[in-house]
Every structure is written in C-alpha cells, then in structure tokens.
Amino acid sequence: LWRARVPRYTTQSDEGMGKPLSIEEVEVAPPKAHEVRVKIVATGICRTDDHVLKGSFPNIDYPVIPGHEGAGIVESIGEGVTCVKPGEKVIPLCLPQCGECSSCLNPDTNCCLKTHLYESQNLMPDKTSRFTCKGKAIHHFLWISTFSEYTVMPDSAIARIDDDAPLDKVCLFGCGFSTGYGAAINTAKVKPGSTCAIFGLGGVGLSVVIGCKSAGASRIIGIDINKDKFTKARELGATECINPQDFKKPIQEVLVEMTGHGVDYSFEVIGHTDTMVAALASCHMNSGTCVMVGAPPSGSQLSFDPMLLFTGRTWKGSIIGGWKTKDSIPKLVSGYMEKKFNPDVLITHTLPFDKINEGFELLQSGKSIRTVLLF
Ligand code: COD
Ligand code: ZN
Ligand code: ZN
C-alpha cells in the first residue's frame, strides 16, 4: 500500500466544518480491474473544491478527498487497462468519457452518463473506496481526488498527455482552462467580429476571455464585482471591463446600452441564479446566445420572464467546455505545447501542497486566480 498525505475534509455533521483542512496519512489501495493509480505531481484549486469544503456541492459523502484539476504520472494499472502505462504523464478527468453511453456515442455531446450528476462518484464503480484513513474508508471526489499524492481512478477518467508537458502548468487543462476556453469555442461557437460579455473573471471566466479572443471576437466585455480582476482580463483580451456596483441600473441594461441591442454571446461564469438571468437578458433579443458555465447552487430554481427566450435568444449549458474529455484534453495540451494558447498567466500562486489552506484563503479573499499546489 502507498501512503499518501491528503487533506481530510470534515464530515457534514462534524463541528469542524469550514475549519482549515488537516493533512492526514491515507492508505491508497492498488488499482482494481480497469483502474489506474496515479502519482499526482501538481493540482490546481478550483472554486468547485471550495464548494465541497463548504458543503454546497451536491451529492457528496464526507469525509472526502477533493481536488479535480491535477496532473501526474501513472504509478500502476489494474487488469484490462490499455489506454495508459506506468510512467506516462496523465491528466485525471473530472468528467469521464466511457465511450459506451448514449452521450459518448453521440458526436455532438460530451456529458458522459457516468458523470456524478447521474451516478455518485464518491466511490469507485464497484462501490468501494481505495482510500483508508486510520482504518476508516474515505470517499473519492468525481472519481479522481487530486488532493492526494497517490489516487486511483477508473480508466474512463484518465487521459494520457504529451511526455514533455510541464505538469505544474498543464494541470489547468483538467478543469479551469478547458471549461472556459471550450465554452467559447465549442458551446457558443463565437464568430469573428462578434461582441461577447463574460460575467465573472475568475480562472474559468478568464479562460472564456482567451477563447473569445482566439475566436476573433472584436469586443470582449468583462464583468466582475472585484475590479482587481480587470488587469488580467485586459491582458488576455478584454476590451472593456465593468463593475455592476458602479451602476444604478441593472447590468443587463448597461450592456444593452453599451452595445445598442445586446451582445452576440454572453457567458455566466459565477454560478449565481441572478447573474444567469442577467446574462440571458444581456444578449441580443433575437440572435443572442447565452452560455451557462457556472454550476447553479444545488436545489436552486430559476425565475425569469419567458419573453427573453420567446423572441429568439438561445440559452445553453456547457460542462467542461463541451469537450469529449479523453479525446480532447490531450489535444488541448498539444496545442499548449505548440503555443496556440497560454493559460500559464492564470497561475498567480504556486505553493507546496502542505500550504493548501493558504491556497484556499487566497481563493476566498479574491487574491488569486489559480493556485497550483506541488507535491
Ligand atoms: N457579479 C459579477 N461578478 C461576480 C459576482 C457578481 N454578482 N459574484 C462573484 N463574482 C466574481 C468574483 O469576484 C470572481 O472573480 C468570479 O466571479 C468567480 O471566479 P472564481 O475564481 O470564484 O471561480 P472560478 O473561475 O474558478 O470558477 C467559477 C465557476 C462558476 C465556473 C465554478 O465555480 C463552477 O461553477 N464550476 C462548475 C461548472 C463546471 O463545468 N465545472 C467543472 C468542474 S469545476
Ligand atoms: Zn473545477
Ligand atoms: Zn459515456
């Protein structure tokens, strides 16, 4: 058994909920058939991990080892694994690609039915855990739990990447960059010369900015209540940045005034229901497309004027940027190696894994875009 240091999250009923994480010794069992054990080298901290920490991510069983934006090296493989070999560089996939379900077989969709939204991924597919701490089983997160030096995942949730890829940078392809960039490229299919509005300029929102820019948008409007996010947004291609708190009228009215009839494409990258509706109302009443990137709060409901859709707007959701993950993430990493895009600028902090709590504090205070933790 490998011994790995991991942060152990408190259970939902624990009084310690919301307290800093503790790092524990965990035993990581060998991979079973069609599973892979990976040595994680680097992992980013995404807002979704913070939702797990706070208990606001749906269908999580605690205690759990979160983390879903990692990169590492295959340590060992179980029976029947053919897609990777020990020693190869890999990115764990927070959305698997099983290759067999109706979504995987459809060339136009990417949301594999093995996602945690359909079936819990708190345990391996055989409904057991590979993690044990002080004799007690610990849950997996999205099948990949990258906040662990060693972790086990099904072979549908792993992609081999370029041997030369720098793992401390390409870990962002596991979630943040791929999610935002793909929302612009695949889901919205932003056209050259168009106008785009991005609500929320965190790591994912800034990746949408990169996508809009590379698709040739001529006007890119960034929206955030934290004006400290504007410098980086402008650096990456935002032509204007606005803070809703600087205006008396609703932000959708400001955007319609700025553009005449609303933007061609709007993106909600915050995960709030009010900004989801504001983003829809900000796009052109007839030809506008609004893409929902931020996950809605669990159990929430939307209330909006149906006239917003009746006139012809399109409202779409996007998970992991619409990419079929196993097929596409290696290609995105190759694109990075060929310098087609550079998400390195999103990494504002790099810390040793032991400073994971500091990484979460930086996220919570709005001081970081992405913190990468190194083992
Ligand atoms: N108006 C404008 N900006 C706001 C508002 C508001 N009312 N509230 C917050 N913001 C800004 C914040 O200041 C911040 O800059 C930004 O919105 C959010 O950024 P981060 O850094 O907190 O978060 P990201 O970019 O890492 O992730 C945001 C998501 C919403 C994409 C993420 O939390 C999420 O919901 N992911 C699920 C979707 C998905 O596909 N996930 C894949 C695995 S995570
Ligand atoms: Zn994420
Ligand atoms: Zn599938």
pLDDT digits (tens, 9 = 90+) for 139-195: 999 999 999 999 999 999 999 999 999 999 999 999 999 999 999 999 999 999 999
Nearest to 336 by CA among 243, 214, 252: 214
Q: Where in the chain are all domains bearing CATH 3.90.180.10?
A: 2-174+342-374
Q: Where in the chain are all domains bearing CATH 3.40.50.720?
A: 180-319
Confidence (pLDDT) at 60: 86
Q: Is 203 in the pocket of ligand 1 (CB under 6 A)?
A: yes
Confidence (pLDDT) at 314: 98
**HSE value, Cβ hemisphere, 13 Å, CA-based, for 98:** 12
Which residues neighbour 240 within 8 Å (Cβ) at sequence distance 6 or greater? 219, 220, 221, 222, 258
Confidence (pLDDT) at 118: 86
Stretches where the chain sits below pLDDT 70 are 1-20
Instruction: Please give the CATH topology (third level) of the domain spanning 2-174+342-374.
Output: Quinone Oxidoreductase; Chain A, domain 1 (3.90.180)
CA–centroid distance, 5 to ligand 3, in Å, is 31
**Residue 274 token pair:** 């009010």
Q: Is 243 in the pocket of ligand 1 (CB under 6 A)?
A: no
- The domain 180-319 is classified under which CATH number: 3.40.50.10420, 3.40.50.720, 3.40.50.300, 2.40.50.140? 3.40.50.720
Judge residue 2's burial from the number of C-beta atoms within 10 Å of its C-beta, 0-12 exposed, 13-18 middle, 19 or more buried: middle
| Residue in the block written with tokens 């504007």 | 230
Nearest to 159 by CA among 116, 97, 106, 69: 97
10-36 CB burial, b ≥16 within 10 A, e <16: beeeeeeeeeebeebebbbbebbebbb
Q: Is 295 in the pocket of ligand 1 (CB under 6 A)?
A: yes
The distance from CA 173 to its chain's CA centroid, rounded to whole angstroms, is: 9
Judge residue 290's burial from the number of C-beta atoms within 10 Å of its C-beta, 0-12 exposed, 13-18 middle, 19 or more buried: buried
Model-level ipTM above the cut of 0.85: yes
Residue 373 pairs with which residues in a beta bridge?
43, 351
d(CA 259, CA 271) in angstroms, rounded, equals 24
Confidence (pLDDT) at 18: 57
Considering every ligand atom shown, identify the ligand nearest to the alpha carbon of residue 157 and give its number. 3
Residue ranges of the alpha helices (H) in 302-373? 307-310, 325-337, 356-364
CA–centroid distance, 68 to ligand 2, in Å, is 6
Q: Is 272 in the pocket of ligand 1 (CB under 6 A)?
A: yes
Q: Is 178 in the pocket of ligand 1 (CB under 6 A)?
A: no
